[in-house]
Amino acid sequence: MWGLIRAALIALLVITAPSAACAQNDPLPSWNDGAAKTAIMAFVARVTTAGGSDYVAPEARIATFDNDGTLWCEQPVYFQVAFALDRLKAMAAQHPEWKTRKSFKAVKTVLEKDRKNGAESDPKALDASDEKALLDVVTATHAGMSTEAFAQSVLDWIATARHPRFKRPYTDLVYAPMVELLSFLRRNGFKTYIVSGGGVEFMRPWTERVYGIPPEQVIGSAIHVQYQVRDGRPVLVRLPEIAFIDDRAGKPAGIQRAIGRRPIAAFGNSDGDYEMLRWTTAGPGPRLGLIVHHTDAAREWAYDRESSVGRLARALDDAPRYGWIIADMKDDWKVIYPFQK
Amino acid sequence: MWGLIRAALIALLVITAPSAACAQNDPLPSWNDGAAKTAIMAFVARVTTAGGSDYVAPEARIATFDNDGTLWCEQPVYFQVAFALDRLKAMAAQHPEWKTRKSFKAVKTVLEKDRKNGAESDPKALDASDEKALLDVVTATHAGMSTEAFAQSVLDWIATARHPRFKRPYTDLVYAPMVELLSFLRRNGFKTYIVSGGGVEFMRPWTERVYGIPPEQVIGSAIHVQYQVRDGRPVLVRLPEIAFIDDRAGKPAGIQRAIGRRPIAAFGNSDGDYEMLRWTTAGPGPRLGLIVHHTDAAREWAYDRESSVGRLARALDDAPRYGWIIADMKDDWKVIYPFQK
């Protein structure tokens, strides 16, 4: 009898073990066989092999992912900018003072062109290099309401807005190979985080559904929130003041603030991820740094050194020096978006 | 044969099911039977009963705990102040300029008294109400080094420093009933967080070992860290600038920043926890707010309205109005510290 019970226990343990995923033929079916996929698989095998010299305890298996251009598309403009422009139009009627606000000039041009043409606004007409104006627009359209009201406005936009090229909800434009990678890492005991220059509260309402990443594992840029009691009820009000920019050298700082330990794997696509890649891969023991290189003009976009969105130069140059893997979108990815599967 | 296997499977499921704790006679053996314990048990039963009207999905089972005075002792001074004073003495030789620094006067007095007496410094000699001087001391003794070096200094102190009354390491002075409660909540699918006015990096090096709370679930006050490259190696350097005070109205803001959703249970002991309790218990559905009331001068300390450390007045007055449970340390706790078990 005990033999049978033991057999049953072993069977159950096999079924429920975290490495059950490895029983699949291919955990990364949207990746072509190549150096990038091989490096990912080898790294995961190394850190999860119990008794191996490179074994990493599950609680230290922290993996951080940039969002724009790494997990989802960032062209023709960062999706949060498209959201801000749509908010600006929607909120303009209640804010007549915005018409004369100096830093809104670039944005006003877009709006007036729209009014004349009756056309959808073209986010490209807004000079993306005018960062101050953009920041001002984002702050104005993202503040003044409760955290709950803002989250609802994000969900409403995600449900209705359509990407200008693909005519689909923006959350359809996540990268299938990266969604598979997130899932593969989690099945191997990793805790997956987003570490993005984008606004933390712009991402949280949908990251769990789309990426399987809960709100508490999203790190991003933030404005100040203030606790207030309104009509006897406590609310958190979003203030038009930047609290933190989670980009470049801000990324390791944001990681330390939120996680308090160094990741062992980091994934990015631009020079904005340089310091996160450096910080992650400079630690002791096995490390993985990976850069998504946008090389596919036919299926997505091709850009790097000269792009105002997702500029990638220094990180590309230094990748060999620090052992960062380049995932070439055109060569390494069998499909780009889940709807193409 | 299948009958036996089924029996084995059922046996194993019973053993490994999340509610296994309920099979124990008493998951909170350090709590006396009484209103506080009953309220905790009833709340956990309500939110975990599948199909019940008050069922809460595991991912929304967020519980936040103040640290000083709620999870561990905070007398005769906050333990982090004792740490800062010890650091001040240890670092003084390298910082002759501290001798003339105006805001260090109160602290200097302590040091000079020590030198004369050859005695251990008495933290009570430092006027705890002189918050600015204290903040200055904490900032000076907590900044200028890498995050890793600071974490090591905390671990060294925890290993060697002794509490003046109990002559034991400070981490021995955690509250056994609260450690049981943390564990009980986690076994019921809760994610447990610390939300403390204390420094986040002062807590993270030991919270996993002592409370079972990993670094990424510790929220606290923070100074700025800056990414730098020194001798070709990236480091995060702690700057002497306050980034965030996680106290009073800062607690709900800190929770939103780090977690991005509202807790369903909150635990505190002072007016510094008032806003966290309000924010938590004002949400829809079942909520639990609990205040640890220090009423036991014999086994611990008795203090509330008049105390400069852990003052509790407004939260005590408003507890009935908002349904917050009072845990009376003298009556509700069978033992205070684990070493008394």
Q: What is the pLDDT of residues A134-158, one digit of tens each?
A: 778 888 899 999 999 999 999 999 9
Q: Which residues does chain A have with pLDDT short of 50?
A: 1-2, 4, 7-23, 118-121
Q: Do B256 and A218 touch (CB under 8 A)?
A: no
Assigned token pair, A105? 């000039």
Q: pTM for the full model?
A: 0.89
A-B contacts (CB, under 8 Å): 102
Q: What is the pLDDT of residues A169-215, one digit of tens each?
A: 999 999 999 999 999 999 999 999 999 999 999 999 999 999 999 99
Instruction: State chain B's mean pLDDT as an integer.
Output: 89
Q: Do A227 and B214 touch (CB under 8 A)?
A: no
Q: In this structure, what are the phi and psi dihedrals at residue A258, rounded to the nearest 5 degrees?
A: -90, -35
Give the residue from A15, A226, A236 with the most B CB atoms within 10 Å of its CB, the best one to mutate. A236
Interface residue A2 vs chain B (CB under 8 A): no
d(CA B263, nearest CA chain A) in Å: 12
- For chain B, where do the domains classified as CATH 3.40.50.1000 start and end? 26-76+171-222+243-340
Range A276-280, long-range pairs (CB < 8 A, 24+ positions): A276/A64, A276/A66, A276/A195, A276/A251, A276/A252, A277/A315, A277/A322, A277/A324, A278/A252, A278/A322, A278/B229, A278/B234, A279/A251, A279/A252, A279/A255, A279/B227, A279/B234, A279/B236, A280/A64
pLDDT score for A12: 45
Per CB-CB distance under 8 Å, the chain A contacts of B57 are none
Whether residue A176 contacts residue A336, with contact meaning beta carbons closer than 8 Å, is answered with yes
Nearest to A38 by CA among A229, A288, A308: A288
In chain A, the percentage of residues whose pLDDT exceeds 90 is 76
Closest chain B residue by Cα to residue A284: B233
Q: In this structure, what are the phi and psi dihedrals at residue B279, rounded to the nearest 5 degrees?
A: -60, -45
Q: What is the pLDDT of residues B66-105, one digit of tens each?
A: 999 999 999 999 999 999 999 988 888 888 888 888 777 6
Residue where the block lists tokens 């010890």: B86
ipTM: 0.89
Between B133 and B178, the higher pLDDT residue: B178
Range 132-161 of B in CB contact (< 8 A) with A: 147
Q: Do A229 and B278 touch (CB under 8 A)?
A: yes
Per CB-CB distance under 8 Å, the chain B contacts of A233 are 282
Q: What is the DSSP string of A47-61?
A: HH-TTSTT---GGG-
Interface residue A226 vs chain B (CB under 8 A): yes
Q: Do B1 and A4 touch (CB under 8 A)?
A: yes
Q: Do B260 and A222 touch (CB under 8 A)?
A: no
Range 27-66 of B in CB contact (< 8 A) with A: 59
pLDDT score for A109: 67
pLDDT score for A180: 98
Whether residue A32 contacts residue A333, with contact meaning beta carbons closer than 8 Å, is answered with yes
Per CB-CB distance under 8 Å, the chain A contacts of B256 are 147, 225, 236
Give dist(CA A116, CA A113) in Å, integer: 5
Categorize the per-residue pLDDT at B134 as very low, low, confident or very high, splitting at 50, 70 and 90: confident
pLDDT score for B136: 82
Interface residue B238 vs chain A (CB under 8 A): no
Categorize the per-residue pLDDT at B118 as very low, low, confident or very high, splitting at 50, 70 and 90: very low
Which CATH code fits B26-76+171-222+243-340? 3.40.50.1000
Interface residue A7 vs chain B (CB under 8 A): yes
- For chain A, where do the domains classified as CATH 3.40.50.1000 start and end? 20-75+173-340
Which CATH code fits A20-75+173-340? 3.40.50.1000
Per CB-CB distance under 8 Å, the chain A contacts of B249 are 226-227
Per CB-CB distance under 8 Å, the chain B contacts of A208 are 59
Give dist(CA B214, CA B194) in Å, integer: 10
d(CA A9, nearest CA chain B) in Å: 7
